[in-house]
Amino acid sequence: MKRTHHCNELRPEHIGQTVTLSGWVHSRRDLGGVIFIDVRDREGRTQTVYDPSDLPPEVFHRAEALRSEYVIAVTGKVRRRPEGTTNPKIATGEVEVAVSSLTVLNQADVLPFQVDDPEVASKVNEELRLKYRYLDLRRPEMIRNLRMRSKVAIATRQHLDEQGFLEVETPTLFKSTPEGAREFVVPCRTNPGQFYALPQSPQQFKQILMVAGVERYFQLARCYRDEDLRADRQPEFTQVDIEMSFVDREDLYQLIEGLLKRIWKVALGIDLPTPFPRLSFHEVLNRFGIDKPDMRFGLELVDFSEEFRLSSFKLFNSVVASGGVVKALNAKGLACATQGQLDAMTEIARSFGAKGLAFIKIENGEWKSPIVKFFTEAEKAALQNKLNIQEGDLVLFAADQWLNACEILGKIRLYCAEVLKAQGKLIISPNQFNFLWVVDFPLLSFDKEMNRWYSSHHPFTAPVEEDVPFLISDPKRVRGQHYDVVVNGVELGGGSIRIHQPDIQKTVFEQVLQIPPEMVQARFGYMLDAFRYGAPPHGGIALGFDRMVAILCGTSSIRDVIAFPKTAKGTCLMTESPGQVDVRQLRDLHLELKVAKKE
Ligand code: ASP
């Protein structure tokens, strides 16, 4: 019995045809002696009917014995469903198959959770779903996610192929370069005491491919980071990894805008407007208090340092006098915030070292706040004008050093947006995608504890050309040729134009980042060597593929778009990995364990 149709295909025009379907028993109803079974395959569902008056008794008995998720093949005639029993929710809802023969291809044990329940994801604990991932993946929602992922991968390959890119695989057994995140290491049997490391990204290989003259490279690259997993991270994840020669930042922006336009069209039928706005790191922090702003709503931060420089309110004027800023945001319509919500916002401010949170509620035509009495009329007028204050608003302040003030209000802004959304005062369509480029990041950040500079992005990012002379004399003012592409408050990807001159790269490693020359040689010597043999100017980017698919699927968790994800502890509950290895394997690897073996 070979299938003639998939379970999403039958329509009124098939009425009268004899068809064969195969798939799983999705759901079953027994009505007045007649059995109704929805058969499900990857594509959809079809109702099949088993009527004892039309069927040989042994076939009917077989139907009676069917349980959820049995695998079956059925043959029968397509007919119209009786009046009043059509199901507009499914594509085949106008017809049913009157079964004449039924084969049970396999049975199924009693299920740990119901595959046909559309609410599994909210009802069943995720650990159970991960343990029985094959059942979880049978659910139509999950198949839809896998299909979306496949479609996006193929569109990406097609687009980049059309743009002249070569797909090149780079090794996943790499060497340890302990920069940034912690790595997974792999002991090497043939070189006792030596280890490979799994790459955190193909960064160095893709740059070497540019030296090799590949000119345009891409890869859907698996990357590995051994970090303590934050809520929605995975120890292995996929990037759309790209590198190009003879380009500047503008070329990269155009390439990625074209690629994302193609993906959004193929995946959602949405035409993304391009070019995306380009905002500097300074501007996004100043206006939104974060380097990955959600631009689907306003609630922007406004600066009042000048207005309060000579204020009689000491808390504000003293901060400005010490080089800090006074910033405020108007949470429109949030004067109704509960004490609990105000406490939560105050807690945000405290987590950045602030002593508290100053705010004004505008209620019954009055500005309610213990600080208002310190304000002059001119100061009030400035607030009124620049924040467009109205009845029912809540104005929140941060007075601190610039970055801290921005970040405090940036977090409070996001918190307020959530509250406003829950109250129905802020409505965001699921089809709204506000992309932007964040550019002109500082090349370096200062690590106070270690008392040294480190790369804001990575050490291969080129400084903005006119800032190169200040690399050593004034590192703080050097901007990097780094860019992030951001959508709806999520950093989708980032990249940079790279340093291609071996002398500048060496200066960055040794004099700016203060890595001892022997260490530079050991870790990056081969790259500096390569650069001496004609490295073209080049740049690239990596997009988080899992994150992108999650956004396209409208799911908040990347685990929902990865076939076999790991838990927050880095374990696979289905295969029970990681696991132990036996003594002989350890001996072959020249390793001895210090931790006691778990029984
Ligand atoms: N390798 C970088 C990363 O993984 C991206 C890039 O610079 O292309 O974040």
Render pLDDT for 396-426 as a digit per residue (tens, 0 to 9): 999 999 999 999 999 999 999 999 999 999 9
Cα distances (Å, whole numbers) of residue 556 to 116, 140, 548, 553, 579: 22, 17, 11, 9, 30
d(CA 586, CA 179): 28
Shared domain for 446 and 536, answered yes or no, is: yes
In angstroms, what is the span from residue 474 Cα to ligand 1's centroid?
A: 26
Q: Are residues 305 and 413 in the same domain?
A: yes
Tokens encoding 410: 């940036």
Distance 26 CA to ligand 1 centre (A): 44
Give the C-alpha separation, 197 to 187, whole Å.
Answer: 9
Closest listed residue to residue 22, CA positions, set 12, 9, 35: 9
Q: 279, 437 in Cβ contact below 8 A?
A: yes
Angle at 250 between CA 248 and CA 253, to 5 degrees: 120
**Cα 201 to ligand 1 centroid, rounded to whole Å:** 7
Of all protein residues, the one whose alpha carbon is nearest to atom 7 of ligand 1 is 495
Pocket test for ligand 1, best of 170, 201, 253, 292 (most atoms within 8 A of CB): 201
Helices then strands (H, E): number in the chain?
Answer: 17, 22
CATH number of the domain enclosing 274: 3.30.930.10
Q: In terms of domains, do 355 and 400 share one?
A: yes
Question: Residues 213, 301: one domain?
Answer: no
* 326: nearest Cα among 426, 418, 406, 439: 406
Which residue's CA is the nearest one to ligand 1's atom 4?
201
The amino acid sitting at 112 is: P
Q: Which of 198, 203, 207, 227 to mutate to test the pocket of ligand 1 (most atoms within 8 A of CB)?
A: 203
Same domain for 379 and 322, yes or no, is yes
Domain span including residue 22: 12-106
Secondary structure class of 164 (helix, strand, coil) = coil
Residue from 179, 223, 241, 483 to probe ligand 1 pocket by mutation (most atoms less than 8 Å from CB):
241
Q: Can you read off the two tokens belonging to residue 103?
A: 């084969």
For ligand 1, atom 8, name the residue with the nearest CA: 541
Beta strands in 9-68 (DSSP E): 18-31, 34-40, 45-50
Q: Is residue 187 included in any domain, yes or no?
A: yes
CB 8 within 8 A of CB 92: yes
Please give the C-alpha separations between residue 374 and each of 41, 316, 378, 414, in angstroms, as whole numbers.
70, 10, 12, 29
The confidence score (pLDDT) of residue 180 equals 65
User: Cα separation of 320 and 308, whole Å?
Assistant: 8
Q: Is residue 229 part of a domain?
A: yes
The vertex-240 CA angle with 482 and 208, nearest 5°, equals 65
Question: Does residue 97 contact residue 22 with C-beta atoms inside 8 Å?
Answer: no
Report the C-alpha gap between 573 and 132 in whole angstroms.
Answer: 8
In our burial notation (b when 16+ CB lie closer than 10 A, e otherwise), range 194-211 reads: eebbbbbbbbbbbbbbbb
Cα of 203 to ligand 1 centre, how many Å? 6
- Within 6 A (CB) of ligand 1 lie 201, 203, 494-496, 540-542
Q: Report pLDDT for 428.
A: 93
**Test site for ligand 1: of 183, 220, 236, 239, most ligand atoms within 8 A of the Cβ:** 239
**Does 5 map to a domain?**
no
Here the tokens at position 420 are 């406003």
Which tens digit of pLDDT belongs to each residue from 539-575? Answer: 999 999 999 999 999 998 999 999 999 998 899 999 9
551: which DSSP letter?
Answer: H
Assigned token pair, 82? 């009786």
- The domain boundary, picked from 394, 422, 450, lies at 422
Cα 61 to Cα 55, 101, 221, distances in angstroms = 10, 12, 52
Q: Taking Cα atoms as reference points, which of 493, 296, 325 lies closest to residue 414? A: 296
Q: Are residues 151 and 272 in the same domain?
A: yes
First to last CA, the chain: 49
Which residue's alpha carbon is nearest to atom 1 within ligand 1? 203
Q: Report the SS3 class of residue 445.
A: strand
Omega before 275 within 30 of 0, i.e. cis: yes
Residue 524 falls inside a structural domain = yes
Instruction: Check residue 84 and give left, alpha or beta (phi > 0: left; psi -120 to 50: alpha).
Output: left
CA torsion, ordered 474, 476, 482, 484, to nearest 10 deg? -170
Which ligand 1 atom sits nearest the alpha carbon of residue 494? Answer: 5
Please indicate, yes or no, whether residues 518 and 539 belong to a single structural domain of this protein.
yes
Distance between Cα 418 and ligand 1 center (Å): 31
Same domain, 305 and 369: yes
* C-alpha 541 – ligand 1 centre gap (Å): 6
504 and 404 belong to one structural domain: no
CATH of the domain at 26: 2.40.50.140
CA of 221 to the centre of ligand 1 (A): 11
Q: Which of 54, 86, 106 is the last residue of a domain?
A: 106
Contacts by residues 124-129 (CB-CB < 8 Å, ≥ 24 positions apart): 126/559, 127/567, 127/573
Looking at the structure of the chain, the number of domains it has is 3
- Residues of the chain with confidence (pLDDT) below 50: none
Both 445 and 355 in a single domain? no
109 class by beta-carbon count within 10 Å (0-12 exposed, 13-18 middle, 19+ buried): exposed
Shared domain check, 89 and 42: yes
Same domain, residue pair 454 and 334: no
